[in-house]
Structure 1
C-alpha cells in the first residue's frame, strides 16, 4: 500500500478531551509524524459523557446528548488540526475515529462507542474508518487492546524485551520480545492485555471527594496513608487471576469499600492499587521486560511513577525518553490503524486480544456521498 496522510482521533477513558494527530504511513511502517492537538471537554461535557457510561440502562436523552458532544468535539479537532497543518482536507487520505467507549464487556460480547462517524465524514469531507473493535469481539476476541501492534512497530530500534505501559483511565501493557518482526506480527514476540486500574479510580475519587478533575502530580495521594487491608481486598479480585489476553471496562472495579477512609487515605490506597496491579502483571509476561516505557496521562502522576520505580525490577521511563509523544501516542495509533484497515491488514492478533485468528477491522464511511452537501 502507498503511504497516505492519516488523522487519528482518540477520546479516552479519562474523559478529559479529544486527542488528534496526523501521520504519513502505509499501515506497516510507522512513517512520519506531524502535528497533534487536544480539544478538552468542559466539566459539564465530562459529566454528560460519564452519565452515558453508567452500568444501568441509560435513557435515550442522555445517550443522544453525549453522542452529540463527542461528535462535535471530534469535528472541531479535525478542522483545527487541518488548519494547524496548513493543508487542504483533500490531502488527508483517511480519519481514524475511535469514538468514546461507553460500555465494554467482552464476556457478554459487548463493546460500544459513541460518536457519529457519518456526521464526521460529512462535516470534514474526509473518509472515516470507525468501529475498530466489533469485528474482533465477533471473532472471539476481547476487542482490546488494539494499540499493541503500533507500539511494537515503534520499538524496532529499541533493545527488547520491553514493556510499553499505557496509563490512561485503565492501564494496559504491550510486551514486545527481542525477535519481533514487523512483517510477521503473529508470533510469540508480542503480547498485550489490560492490567486493570489506571487513573480512572483516582480521578473519580478526588472528583467526588474534592471536586477536582484529577490528583495533580499525585500530590494529594502523597498526603495520605495506604490502607493495606483495603488494598488486599482490591487485589483479590478474580480479574487478576485471569491469564491474558484480557480486557475490562473503565468502571469494572468497585471502590465502595474505601468510603470509610479519609479522602487522602482513599487516594493513597487507589494510587497504590494501580502500582500493585502493574507490578503484579510481570508474572503474566513471557519474560521480565528489561525496560518500561510509560505513556498516557498517568505518566505525569509523580506518586504513581515513584511507586513504579520502587516496585519494578527494571528502569521506568516516560515515552518521551525515546522521542515519542505521550500525549499523542493513542491518536497516532488510530491514524496508523485506519491506514491498516483500508489496506486490509489485521488490527488484532490472538496474542493481543485472544481473537481466534489475525483479524481485520474497522468500517469505512466514504465522504464522497456527502460532498454535494458540503459548502
Structure 2
C-alpha cells in the first residue's frame, strides 16, 4: 500500500516527490526534489508573479508540459528509490497553481499538470484536482493538509502549531483537544498567513541572480525599514479572519513595488520582507491560538536560518523547531500530504476539514484517472 505524492509549490523551486505508506501511522519511505526544466520554470515564475495574457492554446500546452514534467519526476523517484511502478497504489498529484481566487461570485482555483499525461506515462493510477471540490462546497480549497498534520504531530500535553514555510506560509492549529479526540478533527484549524519565501525569493533573484536567499545572508546584510514594513502590514488581507488563503497572484513583485518609495536599498527591502513573513506569522498565531507552546516548521523556509531565528525572537513563549525534531523530513511533508489525500480518496474518505477551509461539509476530493 505505497502511494506517491507530487507537488510543486508556490515557490516553483522544484517538483517534490514522496513515497509513503499509510498502513497504520503515516510513514515517509522516500523523498526527493527534482528540478524544473529552466525555461519552463522561468515561465511559471513569471505567470505567478503578475497578470499575464494567455491564449487557450498557451494554457492547454502548459497543462500537458507540466503533466509531463510531473510524470518524469515520478519515474525518477521510482528509479532512485528502487520501487517498481506496480508497488504504487496511486499517485496523488497536486499540480502547479497558477491562480487561486476562492472568493467572489464565481470562486475558482487553477492547478495545471494534466493527470491523464501522468497516468499514461507512468502506468500508475492518478488522483488529482484536489482543491476545486472544496471550493465548490464554499471553501477555500486550502490548506488541505491540517488533517495529516494532526495525525502526525498533535499532542495531548500542549497546544501546538504546524507552520508550513513555502512560497506562502500557512498554519495548522493543534490544540490539546485535537489529540485527545483523534476521531474528531473539528478542533483542528488552519489558514494562510501571507508571504513566507515567495517575495523574498523573487526579490533576491532580481537583485542577486540567485533564486533564494541562502541562510538569509542577503537579508542579514540589510536593515529592516520600519516605515516600509508598516506599509506592507497595512495590506487589508492580513486583517481578514480565517478561513483565508492566498497565493503569489496576490503577494507578488508588483504588489511589493506598489508599496516602495523608490529609494530603498535592495538588501534593506530583503530584510524587511523577511520581517514581514515573521511578523505576519507571529501576529496570526497569537490572535488565533495564544497559548501555543510549540511551533513545528516544515517547507523550504526551514533552511533559512535567519527566518527561523526571527520567528523564534517574535515568539519567545514558544519552542520553534523543524519537523525534523519529530522524525519528519521538513522538505517532503507537503508531497507526503498529497499521497495521503490520494489514499483518502481511494478509501472513500473526505480529505478536507470544514473547520479549516470553511466548506459546507466534508468532501471526498479529487478525480481518479485510471492507469
**Aligned counterpart for 1:364 among listed residues 348, 365, 368:** 368
Choose from 5, 26, 30 the match for 1:35. Answer: 30
Shift of 1:159: 4.0
1:165-190 deviation line (CA, Å, top 9, x unaligned): 000000001011112157534322x0
Please report how far the alpha carbon of residue 50 of structure 1 lies from its aligned counterpart in structure 2 after TM superposition: 2.2
Aligned residue in 2 for 1:144: 142
**Matches of residues 203-218 of structure 1 in structure 2 within 5 Å?**
203-218=201-216
Task: Give the drift of 1:229.
Answer: 0.8
Aligned partner of 2:244 among 234, 243, 246: 246
1:74 maps to which residue? 70
Provide, for residues 325-369 of structure 1, a one-character-per-residue CA deviation record: whole Å limited to 9, x for no partner: 1111110111011100111211112211011111221110011xx
TM-score (norm 2): 0.93
User: After superposition, where does 1:248-267 map in structure 2 within 5 Å?
Assistant: 248-253=246-251, 254-256=255-257, 257-258=259-260, 259-267=262-270
User: 2:294–2:320: 8 Å Cα contact kept in structure 1?
Assistant: yes
Q: How does 1:175-214 map to 2 (within 5 A)?
A: 175-181=173-179, 184-188=183-187, 190-214=188-212
Report the Cα offset of residue 208 of structure 1.
Answer: 1.6
* d(CA) in 1 for partners of 2:362, 2:144: 12
Give unmatched runs, 5+ long, in structure 1. 368-375
**SS across alignment from 2:177:** coil
State how far apart, in whole Å, the 1-side matches of 2:265 and 2:176 are.
45
1:342 is the counterpart of 2:346: yes
**Root-mean-square deviation (Å):** 1.7
Q: Is the 8 A contact 1:52 1:58 kept in 2?
A: no
Moved more, 154-163 or 69-78: 154-163
Counterpart CA distance in 1 for 2:265 and 2:38 is 25
Matched residue SS, 1:347:
coil
Give the C-alpha shift of residue 286 in structure 1. Answer: 3.8
How far, CA to CA, are the matches of 1:185 and 1:20 in structure 2? 29
Cα displacement string for residues 226-253 of structure 1 (whole angstroms, at most 9, x for unaligned residues): 1111111111111121111110122313
The number of residue pairs the alignment matches comes to: 361
Asked if 2 retains the 8 angstrom alpha-carbon contact of 1:244 and 1:284, the reply is no
The 5 Å alignment of 1:1-375 reads: 4-25=1-22, 29-53=24-48, 54-60=50-56, 62-108=58-104, 109-156=107-154, 159-181=157-179, 184-188=183-187, 190-253=188-251, 254-256=255-257, 257-258=259-260, 259-312=262-315, 313-367=317-371
2 CA distance for matches of 1:358 and 1:324?
Answer: 27
CA distance in 1, matches of 2:101, 2:263: 29
Unaligned stretches of 5+ in structure 2?
none
Which segment is superposed worse, 167-176 or 34-43?
34-43
Q: Is the 8 A contact 1:52 1:63 kept in 2?
A: no
Q: Per the alignment, in what secondary structure is the counterpart of residue 97 of structure 1?
A: strand
Distance 2:61 2:209 in 1: 23
Task: Tell me the distance in 2 between the aligned counterparts of 1:286 and 1:214.
Answer: 31
Q: Measured at CA, do residues 197 and 156 of structure 1 come closer, stay the same or move farther in structure 2, by a change above 3 Å?
A: closer
Deviation at 1:206, TM superposition (A): 1.2
